[in-house]
Structure 1
Amino acid sequence: MAEKQVATVNGFVGILLLLLIGLGGAYVLVLMQNPFGLILLIGAILLASGIVIVQPNQAKAVIFFGRYLGTISNNGMWLTVPFTVRRSVSLKVRNFNSARLKVNDVEGNPIEIAAVVVFKVVDSAKALFDVDNYETFVEIQSETALRYVASRYPYDHAHGEGYSLRGNSEEIAEELVRELQSRLTVAGVEVMEARLTHLAYATEIASAMLQRQQASAIISARQQIVEGAVGMVQLAIAQLEQDGFVLDEERKAAMINNLLVAIVSERSAQPVINSGSLY
């Protein structure tokens, strides 16, 4: 099915024509005693069944004895084919909030994920006739696409390589939109936006994963501290040698040890002052 426009006449013009036909029929029937006037009156009454009112951001599909004739998408009052069934479909932008789904990410870790999908109908014929109920279709396909995208990526990368659900929300949202659009085109629906609204590890592994994240953060911080401490020690030794201080290997080793301990230690260094010996 593909949407097409049905033939229409402006509703006010149509009502005026129907009144003229009705009055003409009454004149012919009553004053001229001609039975043709009765035919005109009946015709005006039958044609009046073609009057239809379309609200803003609404479309009406016109069906004539099981055949799709077209769609009226312009708001206002119109005169169309009589004896037709008009089915309404909303063209407004709508939101769909998915339930929290439990999915395994690409590494097999159970996670909880949810998303909001912003969509609108752009083809009334597909929405009404190609799927049973386009709103239910959007809900089911949105959750299916969300499961598919979530299963392709890890929740988080320990080493920051590649995309992850937590670290690349923009890229994940773009892929979710593409996946949804490929599934919902058959229903005449345009996906305008899709965003993750909830992302967390499942309850049964949340504690263990939190410990892993904390350990990774501590290791990363320690690595930076050690790298900075080594650089500071190298600068200190180079500066002393540049100023003319002669340090043998034993004193260099002792100085390096003391500086590294003072910088890397979690607690403030407590220096020991050698005040000399009594003997």
Structure 2
Amino acid sequence: MKNSFGLAALLVALASAGSALAQVNWPGDQAPHAILPVRDEVQNRELLASAAERLEKVSNALAGYQEALEGGEEATKKIKPLDVGKTFVDNGQLGRFAKLLALVGEPAGPELSLRHHNFYQQLADLRSRLKQLPAVQKALPKALEQLKQRAKRGLNGLKTVDALIREKKWDDAANRLFELRDNLDELGFWFEGAQVAADYEPYDQRMETIQPNWWQWWREQNNARIDQQREAQAPNFAALLTEVEEAASGLAANGKALVASQQLSGPELVSHFVARWQQVQLAALRSRALQWSRDGDQEGWDRTRVTEL
């Protein structure tokens, strides 16, 4: 009975301390806008850095637009429609980097995708408000003509995209097509689909071919590595529980326990197992995320699964 009480007390302390530390190291009340970390791999770090750059740009831009809206009519007039269109493009790039992070099994991918969708809604609301301004209404016909000119000039770029499709160079084809689409979206953001459908059609046709093949290419490039990492990341809950039970027995018998070749007191054991518990928790999260990347849909992740994490 004494040993059971010691084990229970140690587990309760471990869970409580682990939760407190997790709030400091992960997004929470102390750092609500922190981004989830990624595995220490060059590709993943670069993807996260690119996503973080877009996240900061969009967040700062939206804050500036909101400040202008709150500053009255004169301040609102200073918001340039093309700047808002560029923010829309930055947010689209954020969404793409988020999907790629999801495809390589990073929890940061789905989390950043949620932010991307939230930003999109804010931009849509901003567009609705600005389109009521006479100055913006006056500028839109010229912007539409500029969009049509960009769409025509971009047709030459589609020849390169077509060649890359024939060669099945999906990553190169996708990146080139995104460049062309981003150039259109700076202006196309302001118009309803029917107004610009004909201009976008050649680009959308290529996208229908490229996107599923691009996602599949990313999976094939990463699956073998992901399988190895998933096996390595698999959490060993049984080993941790055995360690805790043995430590509890040592505490009950001697007031100290031998752990990792050291005699540790009760408080020292709590600190030790808090760190171990966090490692196991993180391993479980990463192992599950790696499984998602193997099972995900063509969009790179399934939003209905976020709550399972």
Q: Aligning the two structures, in what range does the TM-score lie when normalised by the shorter sequence?
A: under 0.3
Larger radius of gyration: 1
**TM-score normalised to structure 2 length:** 0.22
Structure number with the bigger relative contact order (C-alpha 8 A, sep ≥ 6) is 2
